[in-house]
Amino acid sequence: MLLVIYLVTILICYIAMLTTYMPQAKYHNGMLFAVMLPSQAMDHPAIREVQAQFKKQFRQVMIGSLVALIPLVLLYAQLAYQTIYFLVWLTVFAVVIVIPFRRAFRATLALKREHDWFVGMKRVIHSDLRVAQLKNKRSAPLWLFIIPFAMSFSLIGWAASDPTRDLGLPIASLIMSVIFFLISLSMRKVKGKVYSANSEVNLSLNQAKRRLWSYCWLFMAILENVHFLLIDQLMMNENLEWKGVWLVVTLLFTAIPLGIILTVNHRVKMSEQDILANDGKIIYSDDDEYWGNGFTYHNPNDSSVFVTKRVGIGFTINSATSVGKVFVWGSAIVFAAIIVGVSFLLIRSELTSPVLTITAEHNVHIDYPMYSYDFKVDDIEQLSLVDSIPKGTKTNGEATDQYARGNFRLKELGRSKLYVVKNNPPYIQIKLKDLYVFYNEKDPAQTKKWYERLQIQVQK
C-alpha cells in the first residue's frame, strides 16, 4: 500500500509540473516563458528555436524521471530505503524539472534585450496609491480562524486524556492551523496589482482576489484538522475492513486541497478577464529584471512579502525582503532537516533489531530506538509461545512487510507492543495488565530460548 501512495504522490507531482511549465512555451497574456514580449516578437526564428529546445529538454527530463523510478519499485521489500529513495527522488525532481524552463527564460530574456523588445516601461510600475491605501474589508475575518484552532486544541486535549493515543498528530494539526493563519495574515499585505488606469477597477479586482484567497486558507486549515482527525480514528480502529480507507483518505486529502487552490485561481482569473474585457485600459508592467529565474522574485525596492506568480498559480515570496529571506532559508533548512532526520531514523531502524534482556532485579527490558519498554517479571500475568499474532493496526511505530515494532492495537487483544519479525514464528506472547507484548528473534531457536528463560523467571 505504501508503494501505491508513493506512486500516486508522484503522479500528482507529474501532473502539477506538466500543467505548470508546458503552457509557458505558448505566448499568453503578453508573456512567453514568464518574459513580457510584444506579439511581433513571436515571429522571430530565434524565439521559435527557444520554444523547440524547451519542449525537447522538458520531455527528456520527464522521461528520465520516470526511468529513475525503477529503483523505487525494486526496493519494495526494503521500506526504509524505499522511503529514503522516494524523498531523494522528489527533491531531485523538484530541482531538475525547472532546469529547461530556467534555460528558456534566460534565453528569451537575452533575446528581448538584444532586440529591444520591451513592453511599456523597463522598470516595475508601482500600484495605484488609492488602491494601496485601502483596507481589505472583504477578506475573511481573522477571528474565523478560531474554528480550526478550536479543532486543533480539542484534538490535543482528547489525545492527552487517552494514553493510547499519540500526541504527534494533534500537535501537527495545530502547526498546520498556525501556518495557514500566518499565510492568510501575510496575504492581506500583498501589494495591489495594477490592472488598469482605472483605480476603481484595480480596487475591485484586488479586493476580490484577496477575499477568495483568504477564505481558501481558512477552509484549508479546517480541512487539514478534519484530515488529522480521520487519520487518528483510522489508526485507533481495530476493524481490519477500515484498512482500505487509508488509501481513499490519502487520495481525497491530496486531491481536495489541490482542487480548492485550482478553483480559487480559476475564479480569480475569470474575474480579471470579465472586468478587464469591459474596461479596455490594461497596463503592462515590464519587471522581468526582478524575476531571476522566471518564477523567483527578488526586488529590494518592493516592500511586499508576497507577489502574484508569473508561473503557476497563487503567490510567491519576495526574497529581497527580511521576511522573505527568513522564509526561503528557513524552509530550506527545515526541509533538509526533515529529510536527514527521517532518513537517519529509517536507516537506524533497518539496521537495529530489538534486544531483550532480563536484569538482576527481575526486570524485562526491550531496547529499541524510540520504542524501548520495561516491565517487571512479577507483572507478567500470562506467558505463552504462539505461532501467530492477531491482526490489527499501528498506532505509533513501524510496520513493514518484514517488521512490526512499536505500539499497535490488535483485534480481540487491544493495546499491544510488538517487537517481531513478521511471518517468522514462534512469537513470545506476554500478557500484562491492559497490555500485550509480542517478541521474537530472526532465529526461531533463539526465540524459544528466550521463552524458556522467561518461564524460569516467572516460576521463581
Domain-located, residue 49: no
Same domain, 273 and 131: yes
Same domain, 130 and 278: yes
Same domain, 155 and 247: yes
The last residue of one of the domains, among 227, 256, 282, is 282
Say yes or no to pLDDT of 402 above 50.
Answer: yes
Summarize the confidence of residues 165-172 as an average pLDDT. 78
- The answer, yes or no, to whether the previous bond of 426 is cis (omega within 30 of 0) is yes
- Is residue 22 within 8 A of residue 104, CB to CB? The reply is no
Which one, of 452, 425, 459, 453, lies nearest residue 439 by Cα? 425
Query: How many Å apart are CA 258 and CA 214, to the nearest integer?
Result: 16
Same domain, 387 and 276: no
Same domain, 277 and 401: no
Domain-located, residue 342: no
Residue with cell 529538454: 57
* pLDDT for position 235: 66
Domain-located, residue 39: no
How many C-alpha atoms does 351 have within 13 Å on its Cβ side? 7
Same domain, 149 and 244: yes
Domain of residue 190, residue span: 126-282
The last residue of one of the domains, among 259, 282, 305, is 282
Domain-located, residue 322: no
Domain-located, residue 55: no
Chain segment 151-162, per-residue pLDDT in tens: 889 888 887 887
Domain-located, residue 48: no
* pLDDT for position 347: 66
Domain-located, residue 75: no
Give this prediction's pTM: 0.57
- Is residue 324 within 8 A of residue 305, CB to CB? The reply is yes
The last residue of one of the domains, among 256, 282, 308, is 282
∠ CA 424-426-429, rounded to 5° = 120
CB neighbour class for 459 (10 Å; exposed up to 12, middle 13-18, buried from 19) = exposed
The number of beta carbons lying within 10 Å of the beta carbon of residue 343 is 17
Helix 79-96 with 45-67: angle, nearest 10 deg: 180
Same domain, 151 and 254: yes
- pLDDT grade for 214, boundaries at 50, 70 and 90: confident
Same domain, 232 and 380: no
Domain-located, residue 59: no
Query: How many Å apart are CA 119 and CA 362, to the nearest integer?
Result: 83
Chain segment 93-117, per-residue pLDDT in tens: 988 998 999 899 889 888 888 888 8
* pLDDT for position 240: 46
Domain count, the chain: 2
Same domain, 275 and 142: yes
Same domain, 146 and 276: yes
Same domain, 137 and 275: yes
Query: How many Å apart are CA 301 and CA 178, to the nearest integer?
Result: 29
